[in-house]
Structure 1
C-alpha cells in the first residue's frame, strides 16, 4: 500500500508541476494572459505541498526520484496536449529515468 500511495503522489505531483509550468508557458509564450499564468503559479505551489505527502521522510530522495517522474511525465504531457511525438531515444531515456525512480524509492534498505 505504501508503494501504491507513493506512485499516486508522484503522479499528482507531476500533474501539478508539469501542468503549472505548461500553464505559465501558455500564458507567456502563447500570449494567453495573466489568468493562465496565475493558474500555473497556483499549480506549481500545489506541487510543493503534494511532495511533502510522500511516505519517505528524506527530502533529497523524494526530489531526486521525482526528477525521473518529471522527465517521463513531461514527454507524456507533451504528447497529449501539444502533439509531440517522442522518438525512440526520448522513450529510452524516460524508461531509464523511471528505472532510476524505482531504484531510488523502492529498493530494499536495511
Structure 2
C-alpha cells in the first residue's frame, strides 16, 4: 500500500483501478477471492510467464517506485524492506533475463 500512496500523490486513485481496487476489500472477502483467483491455471501461468520472461522489467519497476517514493518524500519501510530479497534474487540469477 505504500506504493499506492505514490499514485495518490500523482492524482491517481488506486481504489478506482483494477486490480488494485480489490485489495481494499475487507479481508474476509479479499482472502477467498485472492485464493480463488490464484487457483486458476491461467492466472498462475500469466504470473509465471511474467516472472520468467521479464525479470529485468520487474526489477526496474521495484527500484523506480522506491526511488520515486524517496524523491517525493513518502516513507516506504515495508516496500524498502524487500530490497535485500530483490537484490538476492537477481544475484542468484546472475543477471540473466528471460
Q: Which has the higher contact order (CA 8 A, sep 6+)?
A: 2
- TM category (shorter chain) comes to 0.3 to 0.5
TM-score (normalizing by structure 2): 0.37
TM-score (normalizing by structure 1): 0.34
More helix by percentage: 1
